[in-house]
Structure 1
Amino acid sequence: METAQLMRSARFRAEREDSWRKLEALVEEAERRGLHRMEFDAAKELAALYRQVTTSLAIAREISLDRALLDYLEALTARAYLSVYAPQERLGGIVGRFFTQSAPQAMRRNWAYVVAGIMAMFLGAVVGYLLYLEDPSWFYVFIPGELAQGRGPDASTASLRAVIYDEHSREGGLGAFATYLFSHNTRIAIFVFGLGAFACAPAAMLTFYNGIIIGAFMALHVERGLGYDLGGWLSVHGVTELAAICIACGGGLKLGTAVLFPGDLTRADALREAGRDAVKLALVAALMLLAAAALEGFARQLIQDPVIRYVVGWGIGALWLAWFALTGRTKT
């Protein structure tokens, strides 16, 4: 019985082995170079031989050939399937498509969530600003004393101005605040996105709180006649950095909305569907935070003129907006 099975396997293999070897060589070429770089005739033959080997595998299973032959055919079939049907796009193509299509299209599809994040930030800034004007002691509630380093309501106007423009003071005061603000905003961006799935509230509240910090800090300087100067200082990196928070918040709100209002889908399916765009928003926010880190680390120190600070900060903001609004539109 076993001898007869081996003889059937040997005869079955002898009749088809040439095509299997040829397919194996083509699969190796496709794995090494990629199907898109193969000659058309070779790629066409690969697809045809793949169909033949699947038939051989089905027959081999039906007539119960030896295990070694079945293992070989199963492995060859799996490799050929991946060569023919697996996505052929390389990492460079995926990254390029993200920048030219996926990211800006996701931003446009979810603009309402991003606007909601902007509104949460803006309202928080208004609240922080007004609370400070009502009672300056609120400043220390929102901004810890070790962070303020004496640049609070008790500081003189001259010392506040010196921190903004005096190169020797940059490592203290606003320099420390900028470092704290970036690390703080990075954590906030992660939290507002990750916690957004919990009924939206944490994402909106954290973004609101972040706005309160900015509002209180701005109110301090406006009260001393330094609002324009601080605005320029913040614009260099803050336009990009704070926009990233709002976009991350938008991604979190997208997830939270899917949980609250799944529609005809289960909540798990709705969350999975919403996650496709939400993750793209999170990646955009991460990219913007990296850009903000570079701006905070170099441009803020090198640029001292407030007008140029505004131009650089808001000019870069306009470039982000142009990317979101104009890139990846299909021609009609």
Structure 2
Amino acid sequence: MRSAEFRRGREEGWRELEDLVTRVEKRGIKSVSADELQKMPLLYRSALSSLSVARSIALDRNLLRYLEALTLRAYLVVYGPRTSLIAGLSHFFRYGFPDAVRKAGWHILIAFAAMALGIAAGFVLVNSEAEWFNAIVPDGLAGGRGPSASAEYLRSVLFAPWDGFKESFIVFANYLFQNNSMVAILSFGVGFMAGVPTLLLLVYNGLIVGAFLAIHYQRGLLVDCIGWLSIHGVTELGAFILCGAAGLVVAEKIIFPGRYSRLEALAIHGKQAAIIACGAVAMLFIAGFIEGGLRQLINVTSWRFAFAAVTAVLWGVYFLYCGKGAQHALSA
């Protein structure tokens, strides 16, 4: 069948659908009448049927591309959400994210315990034998803060002067966000392997923190180090724990799918895990901003502890109470 023959009798409907879709995209759903609004799903299904036939009889590629683009645009208009990006993000952070976190209570406790175990183990190992530090912490991350580092050098890092707006809030904060988000997403993504790699990643990240604490403890700088870590660590480590908890949610539904098949259980509960992981990545963006610039702007240990306490309270209130008991849903 030639393209011209195929188009005859169908093209009028395609053009009408394209006109309606274009009007909605430019001026909103109110730009079409009630009759046109009722007709749009019929025109969309007709165009979708034409695309299916066109693919089976291998017509010219230009026509295929046109129908594919038209049906995709029409799908978003007919079945897409009727909310703006800002409204969607607002709903996510006001209701979706905190609610998903509250539902993952015991997963978060397990993730927290895994990281706490790593911190304790890292501290004990390095404090008993300093050379463990080199085995635990990569050279690039250590930055010279190893067993041979002097107390003066460690102190100079803890209280280093501010590098300026560009270096602190743009360059360094962006670097931190990229690296931290990659590790966090990995701990979520490997949850399908029964959660074992997720727990190992949490323990390993804890080992690194514990190793740094031990090195500073040996130089009499433990309190200053905890203050230096806490100012961003409340948000950053919290995000790592949440991503790990999201991975454990996935692991649970694979190991214990209940009355559903494993794929069905993942389809039902995977959204909760994804919401937690996405929200945790947003937390890492905030943590990168704090670590990249605010940590060195606030160069007094007591102030750092105060800032960390405030962030801990704010996150606690947010997760415990934000959107609690409310039934909110995005309008379809």
Same fold (TM over 0.5): yes
Per the normalisation by structure 2, the TM-score is 0.73
The answer on 1:242 being equivalent to 2:249 is: no
Partner of 1:99: 93
1:273 equivalent in alignment to 2:272 = no
TM superposition shift of 1:163: 2.5
Which of 124, 144, 151 is the matching residue for 2:145?
151
Q: Could you give the per-residue CA deviations for residues 82-114 of structure 1, whole angstroms, max 9, x where no partner exists?
A: 766653222222111101111111111112212
Letter aligned with residue 100 of structure 2: A
2:125 aligned residue (131, 135, 141): 131
Q: CA offsets, 1:270-325, max 9 Å, x none?
A: 12222101111111111011111111111012111111111223322322222211
SS at match of 1:87: coil
TM-score where L is the length of structure 1: 0.73
Residue aligning to 1:207: 202
Secondary structure in structure 2 of the residue aligned to 1:88: coil
Aligned to 1:251: 246
Q: Which moved more, 1:184-193 or 1:212-221?
A: 184-193
1:223 maps to 2:199? no
In 2: Cα distance, 1:149 partner to 1:100 partner: 39
* AA partner of residue 136 (structure 2): F
Query: Structure 2 unaligned runs (5+)?
Result: 1-8, 45-69, 164-171, 328-332
Structure 1 residues not aligned, in runs of 5+: 1-9, 11-16, 55-75, 170-176
Q: 1:33 offset after TM fit, Å?
A: 3.4
Cα distance in 2 for partners of 1:186, 1:141 equals 24
Aligned partner of 1:167 in structure 2 is 161
User: Which one has a bigger Cα radius of gyration?
Assistant: 1
Q: Secondary structure at the match of 1:321?
A: helix
| Aligned position for 1:73 | none
The equivalent position to 1:198 in structure 2, one of 170, 174, 193, is 193
Q: Does 1:325 find its partner at 2:320?
A: yes
Task: Tell me if structure 2 keeps the 8 A contact 1:236–1:295.
Answer: yes
User: Aligned pair count?
Assistant: 286
2:255, 2:175 → 1: CA distance? 34
Using the TM superposition, name which of 126-135 and 180-189 deviates more. Answer: 180-189
Deviation (angstroms), 1:29: 5.0
CA deviation after TM superposition for structure 1 residue 235, in Å: 1.3
CA 1:277–1:51 in 2, change beyond 3 Å: closer, same or farther? closer
Report the aligned-residue RMSD.
Answer: 3.7
Name the CA shift for 1:33/1:143 in 2 (closer, same or farther; >3 Å). Answer: same
Mapped to 2, the partners of 1:143 and 1:52 lie a distance apart of: 61
Q: 1:308 to 1:81 in 2, by over 3 A?
A: closer
Greater relative CO, 1 or 2 (CA 8 Å, sep 6+): 2
Q: Distance in 2 between matches of 1:154 and 1:192?
A: 32
**Equivalents in 2 of 1:154, 1:276: separation in Å?**
47
Structure 1 residue 112 and structure 2 residue 88: aligned? Answer: no
1:233 paired with 2:228, answer yes
Contact 1:238 1:292 in 2 (8 A): yes
